[in-house]
Amino acid sequence: MGEVKFMPSGDRAMVVEFGNAIDTGINDQVHTLARRIEKEQIPGIVELVPTFRSLMVYYDPLLTSYGKLKAAFESSGEMEAGSAKEKKRILKIPCCYGARFGQDLADMEAYTGLDRDEIIAIHSSVDYKIYMMGFLPGFVYLGGLDKRIEIPRLKTPRVKIQPGAVGIGGNQTGVYPLASPGGWRLMGGTPVDFYDPDREEPILCKAGEFIRFIPITIDDYYDIRRMIVNGTYQVEVLEEDA
């Protein structure tokens, strides 16, 4: 493990930085520290925000301080990635590849030299770790994309991308939770709402969890969408050894 850097961010937050790259090992360290802080219930901590390579720790300055938290983090052991005994939480997300959702699949075929069935098989064969949340409420930045289907973002972003669009941008994949401009290459769509302000938990998932895309047909898409509208659909969640 490289050197861990502690940096103040204003008078009520601290940044704990583990590296300077988008890397699975570095991100594992970020989430290991977040889980440890949650488990130890350190007084004064208000919120934890994991990113690709660092953890933002918000705290109440009336209850604790930058110095106290830094000492607490340093004194409670090495901040190494979690052990293999930990469980990973996997959300199985149905995805209709192609059809009206995969506007960029043809471009991906030309760029990668793979046909669409190969691209879909590769994309749906991975459990993607949610490195961080951002950009929009419920937007997931997913790590673990196979290099064979990496593709640059569009030179000119689309003005509007529909909610549920599944795309690839560079070496990452993700899901648009809301209608939004965007430059990622679109390959499919999910009927699942990643953000619903009327739900008890508006955001479907959180950083540190995993997503597994399950290919479905266009008929399946609309069947699931109807169940979601009627409140009868539940995303399947698995727990497996890390």
What DSSP assignment string belongs to 66-101?
HHHHHHHHHHT---PPPPTTSEEEEEEEEEEESTTT
pLDDT of residue 1: 47
Q: How far, in whole angstroms, is CA 236 from its chain's centroid?
A: 17
Give, in order, the Cα–Cα distances in Å from 129 to each of 46, 58, 121: 25, 24, 18
Q: Taking the CA atoms of the chain, what radius of gyration do you get in angstroms?
A: 19
pLDDT, one tens digit per residue, over 190-235 is 999 999 999 999 999 999 999 999 999 999 999 999 999 999 999 9
pLDDT of residue 186: 97
Q: Which residues on neighbouring strands pair with residue 117, listed in sequence order? A: none
Distance CA 133, CA 8 (A): 22
Give, in order, the Cα–Cα distances in Å from 50 to each of 117, 191, 202: 34, 27, 18
Asked if residue 78 has pLDDT above 60, the reply is no
pLDDT, one tens digit per residue, over 27-40 is 889 988 998 898 88
